[in-house]
Structure 1
Amino acid sequence: MPFSTLSPSRRTFIALAGSAALSACGGPPTPAADDPVTRYGFTPVEGYGPLDDNGYHLPPIPPNYLEWPNRRQLVFYEGERPAGTIEIDPWAKFLYWIIGDGTAWRYPIAVGRAGLTLRGQTTIRRKEVWPGWQPTANMLRTQPEVYGPFARGVPGGLASPLGARALYLYRGGKDSYYRIHGTNDLESIGNSGSAGCIRLFNHDIIDLFDRISIPTEVSIRTLEDSQRLLGPANTPRGVELPPKIISPETIYGATEPAVDPGT
């Protein structure tokens, strides 16, 4: 059964933000400097264009990362969860914000190893704009070559692994250290990673963030349910990507430590 939909609808941010606008001598009038095609080299996809948010500029997401079904869509909801809640399918790499009229907003996600251990029910009890990040003790112990340089934390901003927004999942009144958050790693969406929780394009986590209230219940779909609802040809999808080691010099601007552990 194919994925349902109502409508078809940097390589890093640094690379995009630093790309030079094309120019020409003579000939037709030169497009305005703020024209996205001139500035970024492609026509932005609706809903994923240039975005100024709380003092930060997000470039448009290149269309090759948004090939169907890797974009936000209003879909017929095939699950059984109630309106006003979230259901995460870590196998098909989707997050559903359920509307209650038989539809849901479906967001493509990336799922880290930690995200695949998420089971059952959790509750969003906290939400933050441009949050800082700090690796957990377990991350530092198991992958020191990846996370050691960031042990003191990464301040909130464009370099933060939590991206533009973070939703904090609690279980039994305690922080589970699982997060639903944004990412700069565009390639990861629709795939699995060696670390991290549930990641969305920054444009999508901003959209989702504005829709939910506190608290919001979150359910995790099993592989059996994913295949029952979407069909084995559609799930699981994606590949597991290796960890990316980034030099601290490309991350640290401000050096204030983050206060929130975990992704």
Structure 2
Amino acid sequence: MPRKLNDPSPLGAQSGDGSHVSRRLFTLGGLAGLALPLAGCYTVGLPGQPPLPDETFDYDAAYAELPDGEFTWPAINYKAFDRKFLRQVVDFKSREKPGTIIVDPYNNFLYWTLSPKKALRYGIGVGRAGFAWSGEALIRVKREHPIWRPPREMIARKPSLERYWKDGYPAGLKNPLGARAMDLWQGSVDTLYRIHGTNQPSSIGKSVSSGCIRMWQQDVIDLFERVPLRTKVIVLQKDEEDSEA
């Protein structure tokens, strides 16, 4: 049965970039993973994860320049964006098990469910691949500082990218996958669909030309530190997008 999920707040290749998939509900299966107490009595996620945003949350610190191994990700000018795209806990009704990721590509939100009535929401940017998918999968691979290989259809449009097909585009500030990538699989098959960072922070809250589900570097690192492997993910189709309660 179609899932109807409500958020009362305002709505506003090996990389997975540019892959062709169908326009149907993307339903991904899996286990919620390890549990531990969190603020507000939530019991989902990996141990040692960051605190949840609350009314005293310091967004200046959350979106500040971020050292990360050999790289330092630039600060996000978050005040230039609609506040709805900032990381925040929202009212969100869902029948899914806490710890599920639910993506609404049509309103540019990603939700990580905390309870039947609450979720941690992030703003996202969505490429063509993010609107075109069907099937079931799990987060089977989590990659820090991923390399990126352009899909063949992108190389066909821009032949100069062929040099990155074999060894990939190296990790770093210019890498299209950004700081982290979470790869979604169907059984033993890589779907080429990813949740990943972006080197184009202005794309958050927008539909963009390429990519799957892209997040600010600070946000994708935050999500990466919360979700275990085999996390269940659901990507909604147009007639299942959230509506106000």
TM-score for the superposition, normalised by structure 1 = 0.67
Say yes or no: does 1:79 pair with 2:84: no
- Give the secondary structure class of the aligned counterpart of 1:119: strand
Contact 1:44 1:60 in 2 (8 A): no
- Give the secondary structure class of the aligned counterpart of 2:75: coil
Name 1:144's counterpart in structure 2. 158
Q: Which amino acid aligns with 1:82?
A: K
Say yes or no: does 1:190 pair with 2:171: no
When residues 97 and 2 of structure 1 are mapped into structure 2, their CA distance, relative to the original with a 3 A threshold, is: closer
Say yes or no: does 1:45 pair with 2:60: yes
Give the greater-gyration-radius structure (CA).
1
1:79-132: per-residue Cα shift (whole Å, max 9, x none)? 332211111101011111111252111011011001111234321000010111
Say yes or no: does 1:102 pair with 2:102: no
Q: Which amino acid aligns with 2:9?
A: S
Name 1:123's counterpart in structure 2. 138
Following TM superposition, by how much is the alpha carbon of 1:44 offset from its aligned partner in structure 2, in angstroms?
A: 6.7
Work out which of the residue numbers 38, 41, 66 in structure 1 matches 2:81: 66
When residues 146 and 90 of structure 1 are mapped into structure 2, their CA distance, relative to the original with a 3 A threshold, is: farther
When residues 46 and 67 of structure 1 are mapped into structure 2, their CA distance, relative to the original with a 3 A threshold, is: farther
When residues 68 and 126 of structure 1 are mapped into structure 2, their CA distance, relative to the original with a 3 A threshold, is: same
Following TM superposition, by how much is the alpha carbon of 1:149 offset from its aligned partner in structure 2, in angstroms?
A: 6.2
Work out which of the residue numbers 177, 186, 193 in structure 1 matches 2:192: 177
Identity %: 38
Runs of 4+ in 1 over 6 A off after TM superposition: none
Unaligned runs of 5+ in 1: 6-42, 232-263
Following TM superposition, by how much is the alpha carbon of 1:4 offset from its aligned partner in structure 2, in angstroms?
A: 2.3
1:163-216: per-residue Cα shift (whole Å, max 9, x none)? 000000111331000110000101110111121111000000000000000111
1:209-253: per-residue Cα shift (whole Å, max 9, x none)? 0000011111111211215x348xxxxxxxxxxxxxxxxxxxxxx
Higher relative contact order, chain-length normalized (CA < 8 Å, sep 6+) = 2
Distance, in Å, in 2 between the alignment partners of 1:2 and 1:178 is 25
Q: Which amino acid aligns with 2:223?
A: L
Contact 1:90 1:111 in 2 (8 A): yes
Say yes or no: does 1:212 pair with 2:227: yes
Distance, in Å, in 1 between the alignment partners of 2:230 and 2:236 is 20
How is 1:209-248 mapped onto 2 (pairs within 5 angstroms)? 209-227=224-242, 229-230=243-244
Name 1:33's counterpart in structure 2. none
When residues 2 and 207 of structure 1 are mapped into structure 2, their CA distance, relative to the original with a 3 A threshold, is: closer
Distance, in Å, in 1 between the alignment partners of 2:175 and 2:138 is 23
Following TM superposition, by how much is the alpha carbon of 1:134 offset from its aligned partner in structure 2, in angstroms?
A: 0.9
- Give the secondary structure class of the aligned counterpart of 1:211: coil
Contact 1:121 1:217 in 2 (8 A): no
Q: Which amino acid aligns with 1:182?
A: G
Paired residues, what number? 192
Name 1:114's counterpart in structure 2. 129
Following TM superposition, by how much is the alpha carbon of 1:69 offset from its aligned partner in structure 2, in angstroms?
A: 1.1
- Give the secondary structure class of the aligned counterpart of 1:192: coil
